[in-house]
Structure 1
Amino acid sequence: MRRSLVVATALIAIAFLLVGGPSLLLSPSTSDIAPEETEEPELEMVEFEDSESSIWAFMSAREAHDKRSPLNVFVRGEADEVVVALTEAGDGDWEELDEDEMDAEPETFSFIEDEGHHATGTEWGDATGTTRYAWVDPGDGDPYWMTETRQLDDGDYYGERMHIRLYESPNDDDQWVAMQTHTEHFDWFTLRHRVDGVEAAQLRVEQEFMDMPNVDPQEDVVRINVDNSGPSDADGWATKVDTLGMLLSPLLLLGMASAGQQVAKRTPDSVDKHLTDVDRQRLEAAYDRLEARHLILAFTILTLFLGVRIAGIALERWTDFLTMHMIAAMLYPVIALGIPIATYAIASGLESRLDAAVAASLSLALAIWLDYGLMNVDSLPVDVVLQRMFVIVALGLIAGGAARRATRDRRLNDMLIVGILMWSLVLVGTLFGYL
């Protein structure tokens, strides 16, 4: 039992030092994640000149005034042309719309397809996603909740993408479209998309409109304060595009640069200066215990975890007969079952419980960071950080419980049981939204 506590303590330290600490320093606070509720009489609506209708500057996952997802782009102009110019031109690989989504009548805007017009450089494709609600006031009736008119994206469903939800004016005579733009990545642990932020996507759309040759960036594209800061990295300033004619401008190209992150490195000599004789002896002993099976365990965990990400993107891009749900059903068992089973099988050939546990937890932590690097994730919600720490500890306990010293008396030992239970409860809890 004492040895099990030592292993568990070491795994908790690894999870915190490698994932918890660095992530929490860069992640939004709990207050930024939890939605705020606002009573209807206090709602401040976004209004437009020469329009009777208005819209609240947030959208919500339910019909309640939760300040969770800020609207950050407003386009003044003919609503149908805004939508069609973004989606109907070009040769993008469009995805099917959900049944409850509205598609534009193609014959109404045939001139766009015939002449190859496109409003922006990005060929936004129709996307699928969970329904979100916007609170609108038509001006001549009672306010009500409406669902998005369209969803658009640019990127990979099982990778990273920019996602837009559009809400058209409730009145035919009013000419505006409200958008909620954000960047997100697919989380294979939860089988849901995780929003990374709203500012990058807003800047992308804003810059595309500003780059059009017949647009005056100083007058036609401006920032307005709609007082919806707080969630994610929203600062309360939305983009307002106030030009109609530019919707039929020629195709413009916009490159998207990803900022690299620099990691400070110390030379071996500088590290050696801070080591005591005892530290050197421990490192030498650990090095002497290192064997090929440790490397096989690390390589297997990295391959399975990152392989699911790569396989999901590849199947999405190059197979037409598989739906998104079918791809998830094929690959998720590799995460939920494949990783712990492979870890147990390989770690069962290792002698030391601590060595097996540390090798598995370090490998999973490295896989998680590499995956976030591939997805360009630079901040995480607190609940995601805690979930990742739990799975790192759980997999380490499974590996430690599979080692030969742990199974001398009985194969189903306390370390293994706790690891399996923790892994199962964490995955089930995240799937159902408890973690």
Structure 2
Amino acid sequence: MRRSIVVAAVLVTIALLFIGGPSLLFSPSTADIAPEEDDASDPEIVTPDGSESGFWPYLNAREAHEKRSPLNVVVRGDTETIVQQLKDHGDEDWEETDHDHFDAAELVDSVANGSHEDNETVGGDLASENGDSEQLISPTEVPWSKADGATRLAYFDPGTGDDAYWTTETLQLEDGEYYGYRYHIRMYEGPNQDDQWVVMQTHSEHFDWFTLRHRVDGVEKAQYRLEKDLMSIPAVDEREDVARINLGNSGPSDADGWATKVNLMSATVLLTVGLATRRDGLLEPAKSKLDAQLTETDRTRIEAATDRIEAGHLVLLGTIITIILGVRVMGVALDRHVGFLSVHMIAALLYPFIALGVPISTYLIARGLTSRLDAAVAASGSLAVAIWLDYGFVNLNSLPIDVVLQRILVVIALGLIAGGAAKRATRTSPVNDMLLAGVAMWVLVLVGTLFGYL
């Protein structure tokens, strides 16, 4: 029992150092958990120039004025005109693609009844998406696809004496890989035909195989990408037609509330595209001086630790990395090239490799390792490495705090499974407290995240 406590303490330290610490350091959106809430009787309405109607500058999954998803694009003109302007200046052919979306909590049921949803998160906010998508426009920078998706509500004030109301999307666009990284836009046409404006929300997101949800990384990169695309339209004069404004909706994700107003003179369309402040400074690792600071005692300890490495440790590292990255790559490949498989079918096919393949492989390989601590450290360290490699694959640059917590827990759980499977842990019985604790934690964490408890 005492040894198990030592192993657990080491695993907690590893998880915090290699998952929690870097995540909190490099992810500015991790602090955005509890959204602010406007007074429902007097929400702040933004009115585009020259119009009577206006909008509350956030979206929500329910009829509540919670400041979750900031609107960051306003276009003067109707939806058809906006889409046509982008299409006219595209340089790629239109194609059709099919996507189904699903709710992770109903994965098993959906196989039978065909219902699909896809969840998103912005600072802890979960959303669902469903439907098909077809290639809609191919603008200069982004090959956007039309996507029928989740119900996201915008709050409009007609400005004519009528009551303000909540409304759903007019149109959705996406670009990228469903099981990889993509950009996503939601468009809402204004309430008065004479006012001629459309408000949008654009963000970047990735698919999280541990939670079976789309996780929004931020709005900044997507806003900048869309802005470049709109600016490529010949009618835009950068010096005369571009100005910055502030919509006052900073806070969620990496949004800072600033917007760029663009005037499309030839189409008599005024475009307002949110542009968050870019964080250009990349951390450059300093040259390590560790080697010069090591004492002979330190070198002896390092050599002793190196001597304890077994072939099984390297096999464990390779196996876990292969499974995690293999699922990511196969998901993208199947979605792109195997048309008869729906998105839900792909998830049902590949998710067991995460939920079952990782712990079972870890258990079988760890049975050949001697030390409980070495096996536990190798397994948890390997999963941490695989997680960061996967983040790199989808170009992830921000994490919500619930994802950080979930990753910490699965790293600890897998380490306990490996430690409990090692030879010294199974001398008297193949089942022990460390193994049982690891399996229980792994199951509870994955089930809890699938059903929205984590």
With the shorter chain as reference, the TM-score category is 0.7 to 0.9
1:265 Cα deviation from its structure 2 partner = 6.3
Which runs of at least 4 in structure 1 moved beyond 4 Å after TM superposition?
84-89, 96-103, 117-120, 258-263
2:19 maps to a residue whose letter is V
Counterpart pick for 1:385 among 376, 398, 404: 404
Answer whether contact 1:182 1:195 (CA < 8 A) is retained: yes
Q: Residues 50-77 of structure 1, C-alpha deviation per residue, up to 9 Å, x if partnerless?
A: 3232111000111111100000011112
- Given the superposition, is the C-alpha separation of residues 332 and 75 from structure 1 closer, same or farther in structure 2, using an over 3 Å criterion? same
The equivalences for 1:372-411 within 5 A come to: 372-411=391-430
Q: Partner of 1:146 in structure 2? A: 167
Q: Partner of 1:175 in structure 2? A: 196
Structure-2-length-normalised TM-score: 0.84
- Given the superposition, is the C-alpha separation of residues 301 and 97 from structure 1 closer, same or farther in structure 2, using an over 3 Å criterion? closer
1:122 Cα deviation from its structure 2 partner = 1.7
1:289 Cα deviation from its structure 2 partner = 2.0
1:185 maps to a residue whose letter is H
Of 208-217 and 189-198, more deviation after overlay is shown by: 208-217
Distance 2:227 2:346 in 1: 34
Distance 1:181 1:46 in 2: 18
Q: Partner of 2:19 in structure 1? A: 19
Distance 2:99 2:198 in 1: 22
1:243 Cα deviation from its structure 2 partner = 2.2
The equivalences for 1:91-106 within 5 A come to: 91-95=94-98
Matched, 1:427 2:446: yes
Q: Partner of 1:48 in structure 2? A: 48
Name the SS of the counterpart of 2:207 in structure 1: strand
Task: Kindly tell me the number of residue pairs found equivalent between the two proteins.
Answer: 414
- Given the superposition, is the C-alpha separation of residues 298 and 30 from structure 1 closer, same or farther in structure 2, using an over 3 Å criterion? closer
- Given the superposition, is the C-alpha separation of residues 118 and 347 from structure 1 closer, same or farther in structure 2, using an over 3 Å criterion? closer
The equivalences for 1:30-429 within 5 A come to: 32-86=32-86, 90-95=93-98, 120-140=140-160, 141-243=162-264, 245-246=266-267, 264=285, 266=287, 270-429=289-448
Distance 1:58 1:8 in 2: 43
Q: Residues 285-323 of structure 1, C-alpha deviation per residue, up to 9 Å, x if partnerless?
A: 222221211111110000000101101111111111111
Answer whether contact 1:47 1:55 (CA < 8 A) is retained: yes
The percent identity for this pair of structures is 60
Structure-1-length-normalised TM-score: 0.88
- Given the superposition, is the C-alpha separation of residues 328 and 367 from structure 1 closer, same or farther in structure 2, using an over 3 Å criterion? same
- Given the superposition, is the C-alpha separation of residues 221 and 120 from structure 1 closer, same or farther in structure 2, using an over 3 Å criterion? farther
Answer whether contact 2:86 2:230 (CA < 8 A) is retained: no
Gaps of 5+ in 1: 107-112, 249-257
Gaps of 5+ in 2: 102-114, 116-128, 270-278
Of 359-368 and 284-293, more deviation after overlay is shown by: 284-293
Q: Residues 330-387 of structure 1, C-alpha deviation per residue, up to 9 Å, x if partnerless?
A: 1111111110000001101111101111111111100111111111112212221111
- Given the superposition, is the C-alpha separation of residues 87 and 167 from structure 1 closer, same or farther in structure 2, using an over 3 Å criterion? farther
1:178 maps to a residue whose letter is V
Name the SS of the counterpart of 2:238 in structure 1: coil
Name the SS of the counterpart of 2:424 in structure 1: coil
Q: RMSD of aligned C-alpha atoms? A: 2.8
Name the SS of the counterpart of 1:218 in structure 2: helix
1:282 Cα deviation from its structure 2 partner = 2.7
